[in-house]
Every structure is written in C-alpha cells, then in structure tokens.
C-alpha cells in the first residue's frame, strides 16, 4: 500500500524538499542507503540515530516529529536529512499538479517516497542557491545509485519529472550550465486562468505572469519563462520595471505589480 495513503497512520506531513518516488513496496531500506552512501565520493553519514543507543528519543523521534527511519547526510559541508526509508512508515507524497516527461501510466500520488530536506540548522537558508544546489546534487547522485526511482518531485513547484530528465538538467547546472528551470519551476494556467509560473517564488518570492498575447502560444511562453527564471534566480528579485532581451534580440518588459509578488511579462 502506498505510503501516501492514510492507513499508515504515522507518516509525516509532506515537508518542502526533493522526493524520490518509488513503486509501492520498493522504497530502499536503511542498509541499502548506507551501502549507496559508502559508494559515493564526498558524501557521508554525519548522524545515524539508529546507531546512537545512548539517545533512544532521537532514534524513535525523527526530525520535525517524523517517526521512522532517517539519516543525516553531509555533502559539501552541508547536512541534509533523508526521511522515509523502509520498512518504517514513509513520507506522504506532496500534491503534484505539474508533470514533466512522465507517461500517463505514472501516477505520482500512487507512489511511495524518500524525501531529502535541509538539516535543521539550514532551515533559514533553505531557498539559497548553494544549499539548493548541494541538495539537488546529492538527490541526483542518490537517484542514479538507488534502484527503482520512478520520478523526482520538487515540492515547491508541485512538479514531478522523469528521473533522467531531472538529473540531466541538475547535473548541467552543477557543471556550470543554466539553472534547471524545468523541474524546479512549472508553467501553466493558474486558478484565475492566467498563464503563470509556479516555484520561482521559493527562490525570490515572486512568480511570473504572462500577458495574454504571450500566453496564446504556451510552448513559446514556457521557453521564455525558463530563460527568465535563469536570469531572475541569478540576479535576484525584480524590484522595478526592467527590460529583458533574448539571444535573438526579442525585447520584453518585466513589471513587478505593486505588491511585488507578481512580475508581469509583456512584449515591448
């Protein structure tokens, strides 16, 4: 039975983080994860509550009230918690609204999950690029090593992406390429019928909203949105109206609305 079903009773709420999705019953056990970490370079277990009998409370009660198998992993001097190892209760799969390169037969909400989240001392900077980069790098290394990862979910964007596509885009970023906008942000009609981004707000507190004339061609608007996400994540919040020029010389206006949490995108 999937860990996302309420009958498990003890599953944690869905924290913001990176989810590796598995078929029901296929989540790796603690021993599988420990073997995987042993095979990775520059990654190690910085805390294993199951190996700390002097602190039984820590072993029984995981982070944020999570009751189940968990480990603290370190990479690049940063620590991340891995929750949801079998056979203990899993972590609930978060709501997935956007699907990227997933076949119709892959239902994210029917899967079980491991989730990687920043350690408690990183919580205040969870949306900073160095922390996100390290966490995604670690998550993709895990996805490459663990058997049966069906998809990867990034909860701030409510998106689930095919594993290979997600990992390729993250690996390109860690090697100096563009920010992996497809997978960390999504583009679709919002509740008001407007074509907009979702997930950019996690990084800069703002989402993009496209002028109706741009939204008519949603594929082109998505491609433009991916370029804008890379630019904005690198430069920071759009504090005042400015121009954006593509490599092809097309000019667009970025105009933050008065409340500054929406940036309207229109052609100049």
pLDDT at 92 over 80: yes
Give the C-alpha separation, 268 to 266, whole Å. 6
Query: Measured between alpha carbons, how far is residue 80 from residues 63, 120, 136, 161 in Å?
Result: 11, 8, 11, 21
Please state whether beta strands 69-75 and 78-85 pair in parallel, antiparallel, or not at all (unpaired): antiparallel
Point out the least confidently predicted range of 35-39, 52-56, 107-111, 218-222: 52-56
CA–CA separation, 210 and 195 (whole Å): 6
Give the pLDDT score at 193: 80
pLDDT tens digits, one per residue of 93-143: 999 999 999 988 899 999 999 999 999 999 899 999 999 999 999 999 999
Q: Quick check: helix, strand or coil at residue 106?
A: coil
- Give the pLDDT mean for 44-73: 68
Lowest mean pLDDT among 30-39, 82-91, 236-245: 82-91
Q: What is the rounded CA–CA span in Å between residue 92 and residue 15?
A: 9
The C-alpha atoms of residue 163 and residue 167 are separated, in whole angstroms, by 6
Parallel, antiparallel, or unpaired: how do β-strands 159-162 and 98-100 relate?
Answer: parallel
DSSP state of 131: H
**Domain limits, the chain:** 6-174, 185-267
Scanning 122-208, the segments in alpha helix (DSSP H) are 129-145, 163-174, 181-184, 200-204
Report pTM: 0.89
Cβ atoms of residues 78 and 131 within 8 Å: yes
The candidate with the shortest Cα–Cα distance to 112, out of 5, 227, 36, 2, is: 2
């Amino acid at each position: 039975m999937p860990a996302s079903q309420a009958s498990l009773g003890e599953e944690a709420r869905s924290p913001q983080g990176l989810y590796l999705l598995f078929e029901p019953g296929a989540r790796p056990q603690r021993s599988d994860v420990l073997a995987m970490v042993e095979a990775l370079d520059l990654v190690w277990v910085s805390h294993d509550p199951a190996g700390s009998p002097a602190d039984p409370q820590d072993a029984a009660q995981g982070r944020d009230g999570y009751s189940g198998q968990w480990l603290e992993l370190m990479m690049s001097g940063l620590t991340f918690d891995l929750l949801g190892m079998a056979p203990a209760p899993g972590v609930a799969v978060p709501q997935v609204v956007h699907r990227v390169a997933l076949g119709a037969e892959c239902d994210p909400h029917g899967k079980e999950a491991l989730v990687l989240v920043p350690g408690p001392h990183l919580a205040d900077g969870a949306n900073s690029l160095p922390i996100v980069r390290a966490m995604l790098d670690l998550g993709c290394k895990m996805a490459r090593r663990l058997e049966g990862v069906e998809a990867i979910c990034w909860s701030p964007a409510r998106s689930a992406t095919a594993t290979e596509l997600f990992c390729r885009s993250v690996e390109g970023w860690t090697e100096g390429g563009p920010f992996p906008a497809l997978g960390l942000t999504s583009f679709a009609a919002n509740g008001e019928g407007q074509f907009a981004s979702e997930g950019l707000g996690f990084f800069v507190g703002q989402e993009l909203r496209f002028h109706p004339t741009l939204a008519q061609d949603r594929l082109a608007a998505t491609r433009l949105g991916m370029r804008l996400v890379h630019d904005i994540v690198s430069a920071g919040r759009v504090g005042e109206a400015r121009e954006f020029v593509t490599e092809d010389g097309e000019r667009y206006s970025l105009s933050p609305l008065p409340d500054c949490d929406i940036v309207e995108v229109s052609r100049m």
